[in-house]
Amino acid sequence: MYSKFNSRCMKLNFRKQYHNACVLMMTLLFFSIQIAHAQQQAYIPDPDPLVQQRLADWQDMKFGLLMHWGPYSQWGVVESWSICPEDLSWASGARLQRSNGADYAQYRKDYEALQKTFNPINFDPAKWAEAAAFAGMRYVVFTTKHHDGFCMFDTRTTDYKITDDKTPYHTQPNADVTRAIFDAFRKKNFWIGAYFSKPDWHADGYWWNRFPPADRNPNYAIDKHPEQWQKYVQHTHEQINELTSNYGKLDILWLDGGWVAKKTSDELKAEMQAEYEGSRWARNPQSQDINMPLLVKNARQKQPGLIVVDRAVPGVYQNYLTPEQHIPDEGLPYPWETCMTMSRSWSYTPNDVYKPTNELVEKLVDIVSKGGNYLLNIGPDDKGQWNDTAYSRLRDIGNWMAVNQSAIYGTKMYAHFAQGDSIRFTQSKDGKTRYVYLFNYAKGSLHLADIKLQKTDAVRLLGYEKALIWKDEANGVAIQLPEAGMNASQHVWVLQIRSL
């Protein structure tokens, strides 16, 4: 009896424990799914309806211009990075210059002294705007301040700026180059974007002069010196206030330096662990909270509907995503833009190599077929000039656009974006027109799988007069490409399929 009772109790106990273990496992599973979900949630839509409207308009623009320009352009080194005390093989400027014998402290002094010789006397933003407009670009993003902290606009917060007496160019009527660029591009109906680096390696609140900088991050413990950090937060808010108050209509605030972000202690722990495992030295990650809610609230008070791009910081202030030097394999289910250099580097370097027009047009088409925008970068030189090749590329792209632009603007993703590596698809917004982009043109029969045509559909090759002949095939359609069609365009040929 006793043992029966006992064994029953044990059974019950076991069941209870089993039940508890299951509940625990389910709870853990639930939370880990939640965490994974939160981590995967790369995009969080902004609840402001005006921002949503502006984003939809921005997605129609497809093609924009990015420019990296500053006193560093005189040395032709990678923008800003050569003063960052990390061993970065790609910041070759640092290696070159420093291997010339200069120690770090001297190197940084020399770098900052570039302000005293920066005199881009051939700066003519109207010429840039003209060339970019011809190419079909519709918005511009300009480095108002890069990580080195040099302001290419007129600010009251620092004398490390283009309009200061120490900068030779300050006497010129266009000394406030940010204003001149924004005005010139606005005249061509561009949307205006301010690239702004959150990290500022000149500001005492970020790299405090009391200590040597250690890496790209603040060089002191923020929680020990909150007043020092507040100086930097204040400095950043003031500069954004100037840019959003004094420079006319601003459409995009493009914030770079995603490591400046608020972090929870769990995120910091995970980062620390990753650093420790992944590198020879572990740093102490810190929450770099610059009060984004207030920053954005103030900015949007002056610029209603402002698109804010807090790059690489998942959350509500990253209104679109910005894959860098890279095109995603597939379309992304949120607004995005690939930023990419037209040559090899972001800022001017001597003897830079420019991508051929073919590649640029194909990339534009590839991006558009995946629902994104293409932000193409050109780096002006120390005199304020673009390389001739940049102009000729923009001219070639413009000539292509003159024939094919109806297949770029006002399009959206099609059911599938590609057939193999060299055919892309989109459709018009009303879905009545489909576009097929051919990266190669060969006369004869072109088989398009998964495309069905109605009898009344008309197929044209943009830039070619006559309608094309087509016929249904098992699993798709065959379109006859005439020999003369070869001359309809260059780089990429576009078929337009219209339904009545």
Contacts of 89 by beta carbon, 8 Å cutoff, 6+ apart: 95
Per-residue binder mask for ligand GLC (CB under 6 A), 35-74, x = binder: ---------------------------------x------
Beta carbon of residue 340, minimum distance to ligand GLC (angstroms, whole number): 9
Least distance (Å) between residue 86 CB and ligand GLC: 11
Nearer to ligand GLC, 347 or 387 (CB): 347
User: Hey, what are 32's tokens?
Assistant: 């880990």
Give the Cβ contact number of residue 55 at 10 Å.
18
Rounded to whole angstroms, how far apart are CA atoms 376 and 361? 11
Beta strand 423-428 with 458-461 is unpaired
State in angstroms the smallest separation of the CB of 68 from ligand GLC: 6
Q: How far is the CB of 280 from ligand GLC (least distance, A)?
A: 21
Rounded Cα–Cα distance for residues 415 and 354 (Å): 33
Q: Please, which residue, 107 or 346, has the CB nearer to ligand GLC? A: 346
SS3 370: coil
CB of 143 to ligand GLC, least distance (A): 7
Q: What is the 3-state secondary structure (H, E, C) of 251-278?
A: CEEEEECCCCCCCCHHHHHHHHHHHHHH
Min CB(163)–ligand GLC separation in Å:
22
| 324, 418, 439, 498: which one binds ligand GLC (CB under 6 A) | 324
Give the closest residue to 492 by CA, choosing from 438, 422, 419, 418: 438
Q: Across the strands, what pairs with 256? A: 197
Q: Half-sphere exposure of residue 277, counting CA atoms within 13 Å on the CB side?
A: 5
Q: Least distance from C-beta 177 to ligand GLC, angstroms? A: 17
Task: Rule CB under 6 A: choose which of 46, 48, 79, 396 binds ligand GLC.
Answer: 79
Length of the chain as a residue count: 500
How many of the chain's residues bind ligand GLC (CB under 6 A)?
6
- Member of 46, 256, 362, 381 binding ligand GLC (CB under 6 A): 256
* Residue from 145, 128, 263 nearest 200 by CA: 145
CA distance 416 to 386: 38
Spell out, one character per residue from 416 to 435, where the chain touches ligand GLC: x when CB under 6 A holds, - when not. --------------------
Residue 309 near residue 255, CB atoms below 8 Å: yes
Q: Which residue type is seen at 54?
A: R
Please, which residue, 82 or 419, has the CB nearer to ligand GLC?
Answer: 82
Which is nearer to ligand GLC, 68 or 393 (by Cβ)? 68
Q: Contacts with ligand GLC in 327-386 (CB under 6 A)?
A: 339, 346
Minimum CB distance to ligand GLC smaller for 242 or for 256: 256
Say which residues have a Cβ less than 8 Å from residue 175's Cβ, sequence separation at least 6.
154, 162, 163, 167, 169
Minimum separation from the CB atom of position 34 to ligand GLC (A): 31
Q: Which spans of this chain sit near ligand GLC (rule: CB under 6 A)?
A: 68, 79, 256, 324, 339, 346
